[in-house]
Structure formats: C-alpha cells, structure tokens
Amino acid sequence: MSGYDDRDGQIWMDGKLVDWRDAKVHVLTHAMHYASSVFEGERAYNGRIFKSREHTERLIASADALDMPVPYSVDEIEAAKEKTLKATGLSDAYVRAVVWRGSGEDMGVASAKNPVRLAIAVWPWGAYYGDAKMKGAKLDIAEWKRPSPETIPVHAKAAGLYMICTISKHKAEEKGCSDALFMDYRGYVAEATGANVFFVKDGEVHTPLPDCFLNGITRQTVIEMLKDRGIVVHERHIKPEEMADFEQCWLTGTAAEVTPVGQIGNYTFEVGDLTREIAEAYEKLVRA
C-alpha cells in the first residue's frame, strides 16, 4: 500500500473536499513546530460513525483546552464527517478529524494571529493489534510516565501528548510486543499508548481512574456495558504489583475496540470468558 500522502480519494479540508494528494500544509505551519494540534479517531460501522457526536464534542473541548477556537459548530463538523465518509464509498472505515493552528503572522510560541484549521480524512483500517484479538496482545512496560495535570492539559486529545507514546510503542515493537503500558507520574497503572486498560479479578472489573489521562469514549461505553450486566466495576488507582493477582485483562479504544491482553511485562493473563463476552458484545453494539 502507498503512503498516507499518496492515495486516491478526497479529504475534507477547511470547508470543502479536496483531492487526497492536495491536502497539504506549509512547512511553517504552527502545529508542526509547537504541537498546537488536537484530533479524534473514530470508526464507522455499516456506514454509521459510532458515537460520532460525542467525538466531535470532545474535539472542540480539546481545542478549547489548547486555546484554539474551532471555526465550525458541532453540527457543521458532523455534516462534514458524513460528507467525507459518503465520498469514500466505504461502510466500515476509520475517521480522523484534526484541528490545528496553521501558518500565519505568528511563528513563535504564540499563535493567536494564525488561523485554526480543520481536516477530516477517512480510510479503511482493520484490527489495530492484528491477530491479538484472538490470542491476546503482549505489552511492554513503558519507561515514560503519564504527566501530572499540573504540567499539561491531560484530558485533551492533543497531539503533543502522544510523543512519548510513539517512543514507547517503537521500543515495545522492537521487543516483539504490540504496545506498551504506562504508569502515571505517581507510579500507578495508567493506560497503553492509545488505549485504556481493564483487569478482572474474582468476577469484578478494575480499571485505572482517569485523573491524569484521557477518559476514552470506548472506555466509558464498556463500563456502561459491564454495569448493565450487573458486574461490579472499580475505577481506582492500581499499583503495578497488583497485576500479579489479576486473571484477565483487555484494552479499549476506538482503534483497539476491545482487545484481549495476554501479557504485560512479566505478568500473564488468560483470555477469559468475560473478556470474550465484552469483546463480542461491543462488536454487536457498534453494528446495531
């Protein structure tokens, strides 16, 4: 397959569809130099973007957190996403909406004089972790930690927050792992590079409290599913050594969907009944 910059199709950019290869920005765009960018990753199933409006609302909230007023309303962005999806002819697809500070009068840290831009791209994307959905993903433990809320807007889906994710995932893949698990700045279990994490013990579910990382939309959806089934869910701080006593583990995210985990560092987990049940139920929900 060709690179993401060299494909057929169209991308919605600043109010109109343009040829895929023409969706470009200048090398002095502010976002490239100062990480003034936020984005959303979404999936369409059977021609419908799952929880589309929630993603759009979070996109605008993330932009607000970075002082980037989006020049489009939620309804306008929703219409743009639908238009872009329709233009691809795809029914199952990945949807990427990105907001950034473009090039303009400012080329220092400040960028208030530069336009806030928006683009939406849609493309086919299969299972994020490949065959891990069947046998369980293997995770490394990252050297980096999720930062304190006092240092950065941790609840924004901001591009700059993913720098340590890229570094950590590269190292994980070099070790034959699918991903890496972060601890937070206090040493508690946090999340993977692009997904939230859940554990099972004695029929109850434990998941890290999202007080310094993104409270994923898929995470929230899965918690609702578990509670609807009468399963107790503990949202709390989890110490790394507690992983030795957990029986099952899975990841959640728009790209990851619900992916079983078989190993994190030296800790191992079974791909158990509850993990499979939730993965199957989530698949049915998004295609309902």
Active-site annotation, residues:
157
Q: How far apart are CA 165 and CA 140, in angstroms?
A: 12
Q: How far apart are CA 114 and CA 116, in angstroms?
A: 7
Do the Cβ atoms of 121 and 11 come closer than 8 Å? yes
172: nearest Cα among 134, 136, 146, 138: 138
Q: Which residues pair with 121 in a beta bridge?
A: 96
As given in the structure block, the two tokens for residue 66 are: 């970075």
